[in-house]
C-alpha cells in the first residue's frame, strides 16, 4: 500500500470505530481480514495512525473545526502530530489510486488557521465533562493525570501464577524466549513487558502451561488487598472474564511440600498464617486449592470463559450465574470471609489501552454506572460473615464511580468498619516498595487510587471494609 492508501484506510477504520461499540483492536483486526492485500507493515502503519488519532482525538476535532469524521481527523493528525506542512499534506491527498481525495478549500483553511489557546480539556485530551471530574479529584495535578492516561502506550503486565511457578523461574524462561521482563514495582508476582515490539504472550509456553496470565499490576494489587488465605470462603461477585478470580484462587493454594529454588532466591513457604522463611534453597510446592472460591456474574458467557483459564492455571472456583437482581446467592448469605466487588464501571482507568472508549462515554453512562454500583455492592455485602472483608473496586478514574459510590455504601452500612489500606497491605504479595508506596497513595485512609501518573498502572480504585462481629 502507498502511504496515501494507508491514510485512507485509517480514515475508514476510524469511521467504523465511531459508528459502533466494538474495541478499536477488533475493528482493526476485521479490517485486516477483509483486506488481505494489506501486508503486516501496512497493518501496523494503519493501526499506528488510528491509535495516534484516538489518543489525540479531542485536539484534532477542535483543530478541524468540530469535524469528527475519520478523514478530517487523519488530516488534522498529519499537521498536529506529524508536523507536516500544507504542501506535504496535499501531496498525500492527490486522489490517485487508493489514496484520499484532494483537500477541500475548507480543509486547507483549517490547516492554515492560527490556533487560539486550547481549552483545558482539549489540551489534556479528555472529553469535556470528564475534565470537571478530574479537576475536583486531582486538583492542580489533573492535566498530568489526563495526559498519562491518554498518551502513552501501556506496557504489558504479567502475573506469575504461584500455583505453578516462581517469579524467578518465569523471568528466566521469558529471557530465554528473547523477551526482557522487568519486575513490577508493587506486586511481588508481576513481570512487565514493553509494548514495543508487541510480544505475543499467548504463544509463549509459559502462558499455555498456565505459569503466567496477562494482568495489569493495578488489577493484581486489587487481588492482594483482599487478603485471601488458604481455607477461606471467598466470593468474586463480578467475576467477568475471571482476571481477578484467578488472582484470588492463587492465594488459596495450600503448600504441601518443599522444592528447591535457586540459591540466591530468598525462599518462602506459605503457611496458613502467612509466609515464613523456608529452609535455605527450598520453596513451597503448591498442589491444591484449599477453601472455597465462588465466582458470580450476571453474564453466563463470561463465566464460561473462566473455565479454561482455571484449568490452565491449575486452580479451582465454582462459577454461578446471578439473576438480574442478584438472585441465586441464598446459600452464601453470611458465609464469606472475603467478598470482592469488581464493579461494572466506565473503564476509564484503561483508556491508555482503549482510548476509543473515552469518546463514547456520556454523562448518562456515568450516572447509570453509579446506580448499578451502589446496588451491587449492597447485595454483595450480604454474603459476608461477621469479621469478613469487603473490597469494592473499579477500573475507573471518576469520582462519581468511586468516592461517591462508596460514600453511599458507607452511609447505608454503618456496620462496616473501614479498613486502612496500610493494614490491608500487610501480606507477602506486595513488595516492600509496594507497601510503602501504596500506603502513601492511600494517605492513611481506607480508599486507594491508582493511576498511570502516580503508580504506573491502569487507573483503579479500591475501598476496604470489615463487617462488624
Ligand X SMILES: C[S@@+](CC[C@H](N)C(=O)[O-])C[C@H]1O[C@@H](n2cnc3c(N)ncnc32)[C@H](O)[C@@H]1O
Whole-number Å distance between alpha carbons of 428 and 368:
37
Rounded to the nearest 10 degrees, the angle between the axes of helix 40-55 and helix 24-34 is: 150
Whole-number Å distance between alpha carbons of 267 and 49:
47
CB of 438 to ligand X, least distance (A): 19
Active site residue 238: no
Whole-number Å distance between alpha carbons of 83 and 256:
61
One of 298, 316, 378, 422 touching ligand X (CB under 6 A) = 298
Contact 458, 219 (CB under 8 A): yes
- Give the number of residues in contact with ligand X, rule: CB under 6 A: 17
Residue 337 annotated as part of some ligand binding site: no
**Which candidate in 223, 238, 345, 395 is catalytic?**
395
One of 93, 192, 244, 352 touching ligand X (CB under 6 A) = 244
Q: Does 299 participate in binding ligand X (rule CB under 6 A)?
A: yes
Q: Does 190 participate in binding ligand X (rule CB under 6 A)?
A: no
Contact 445, 365 (CB under 8 A): no
Q: Residue 456 contacts by C-beta under 8 Å, 6 or more apart in sequence?
A: 185, 217
Whole-number Å distance between alpha carbons of 44 and 21:
22
| Closer by beta carbon to ligand X, 96 or else 365 | 365
One of 297, 337, 356, 458 touching ligand X (CB under 6 A) = 297
Whole-number Å distance between alpha carbons of 355 and 176:
33
Q: Residue 280 contacts by C-beta under 8 Å, 6 or more apart in sequence?
A: 263, 267
Q: Does 240 participate in binding ligand X (rule CB under 6 A)?
A: yes
One of 127, 199, 243, 291 touching ligand X (CB under 6 A) = 243
Binding region for ligand X (CB under 6 A) out of 80-88, 115-123, 297-305, 440-448? 297-305
Element (H, E) at 59: helix 57-63
Binding region for ligand X (CB under 6 A) out of 28-36, 127-135, 256-264, 295-303? 295-303
Q: Residue 446 contacts by C-beta under 8 Å, 6 or more apart in sequence?
A: 418, 419, 420, 421, 463, 464, 465
One of 1, 160, 191, 238 touching ligand X (CB under 6 A) = 238
**Grid cell 484532494 — which residue?**
102
CB of 78 to ligand X, least distance (A): 37
One of 302, 320, 354, 385 touching ligand X (CB under 6 A) = 302
| Closer by beta carbon to ligand X, 99 or else 344 | 344
DSSP 291: S
DSSP 64: T
One of 46, 376, 421, 424 touching ligand X (CB under 6 A) = 376
Residue 297 annotated as part of some ligand binding site: yes
* Segment 327 to 346, residues that bind ligand X, using CB under 6 A: 342, 344
Phi-psi region of 393 (alpha: psi -120 to 50; beta: other; left: phi over 0): beta
Binding region for ligand X (CB under 6 A) out of 75-83, 122-130, 293-301, 307-315? 293-301
| Closer by beta carbon to ligand X, 100 or else 218 | 218
Residues at the site binding ligand X, with contacts judged by CB under 6 A: 219, 237-244, 297-299, 302, 322, 342, 344, 376
User: Which residues are the active-site residues?
Assistant: 395
Binding residues for S-adenosyl-L-methionine: 297, 342
Amino acid at each position: 500500500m502507498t502511504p496515501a492508501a494507508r491514510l485512507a484506510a485509517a480514515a475508514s477504520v476510524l469511521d467504523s470505530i465511531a459508528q459502533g461499540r466494538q474495541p478499536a483492536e477488533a475493528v482493526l483486526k476485521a479490517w485486516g481480514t477483509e483486506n488481505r492485500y494489506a501486508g503486516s507493515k501496512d497493518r501496523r502503519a494503519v493501526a499506528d495512525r488510528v491509535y495516534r488519532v484516538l489518543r489525540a482525538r479531542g485536539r484534532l476535532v477542535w483543530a478541524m473545526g468540530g469535524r469528527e469524521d475519520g478523514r478530517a481527523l487523519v488530516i488534522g493528525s498529519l499537521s498536529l502530530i506529524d508536523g507536516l506542512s500544507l504542501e506535504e499534506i496535499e501531496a498525500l491527498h492527490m486522489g490517485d489510486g487508493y489514496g484520499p481525495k484532494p483537500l477541500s478549500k475548507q480543509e486547507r483553511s483549517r490547516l492554515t488557521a492560527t490556533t487560539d489557546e486550547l481549552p483545558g480539556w482539549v489540551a489534556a485530551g479528555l472529553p469535556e465533562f470528564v475534565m470537571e471530574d478530574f479537576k475536583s479529584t486531582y486538583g492542580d495535578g489533573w492535566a498530568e493525570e489526563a495526559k498519562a492516561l491518554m498518551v502513552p502506550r501501556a506496557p504489558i503486565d504479567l502475573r506469575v501464577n504461584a500455583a505453578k511457578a516462581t517469579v524467578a523461574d518465569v523471568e528466566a524462561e521469558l529471557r530465554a524466549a528473547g523477551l526482557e521482563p522487568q519486575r513490577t514495582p508493587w506486586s511481588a508476582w508481576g513481570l512487565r513487558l514493553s509494548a514495543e515490539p508487541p510480544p505475543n504472550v499467548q504463544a509463549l509456553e509459559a502462558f499455555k502451561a498456565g505459569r503466567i496470565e496477562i494482568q495489569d499490576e493495578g488489577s493484581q494489587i486489587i487481588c492482594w488487598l483482599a487478603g485471601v488465605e488458604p481455607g477461606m470462603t471467598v466470593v468474586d461477585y463480578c467475576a467477568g472474564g475471571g482476571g481477578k478470580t484467578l488472582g484470588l484462587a492463587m492465594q488459596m493454594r495450600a503448600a504441601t511440600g518443599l522444592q528447591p529454588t535457586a540459591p540466591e532466591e530468598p525462599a518462602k513457604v506459605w503457611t496458613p498464617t502467612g509466609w515464613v522463611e523456608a529452609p535455605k534453597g527450598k520453596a513451597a510446592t503448591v498442589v491444591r486449592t484449599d477453601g472455597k472460591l465462588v465466582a458470580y456474574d450476571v453474564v453466563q458467557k463470561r463465566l464460561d470463559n473462566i473455565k479454561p483459564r482455571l484449568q490452565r492455571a491449575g486452580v479451582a472456583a465454582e462459577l454461578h450465574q446471578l439473576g438480574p437482581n442478584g438472585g441465586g446467592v441464598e446459600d452464601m448469605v453470611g458465609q464469606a470471609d472475603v467478598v470482592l466487588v469488581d464493579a461494572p464501571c466506565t473503564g476509564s482507568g484503561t483508556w491508555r489501552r482503549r482510548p476509543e472508549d473515552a469518546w463514547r462515554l456520556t454523562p448518562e453512562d456515568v450516572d447509570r454506572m453509579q446506580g448499578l454500583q451502589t446496588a451491587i455492592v449492597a447485595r454483595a455485602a450480604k454474603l459476608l460473615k461477621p469479621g469478613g472483608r469487603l473490597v469494592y473496586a473499579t477500573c475507573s478514574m471518576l469520582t462519581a464511580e468511586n468516592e461517591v459510590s462508596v460514600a453511599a455504601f458507607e452511609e447505608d452500612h454503618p456496620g462496616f468498619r473501614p479498613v486502612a489500606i496500610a493494614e490491608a497491605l500487610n501480606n507477602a504479595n506486595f513488595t516492600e516498595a509496594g507497601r510503602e508506596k501504596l500506603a502513601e497513595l492511600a494517605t492513611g485512609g481506607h480508599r486507594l487510587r491508582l493511576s498511570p501518573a502516580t503508580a504506573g498502572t491502569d487507573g483503579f480504585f479500591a475501598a476496604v471494609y470489615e463487617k462488624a462481629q
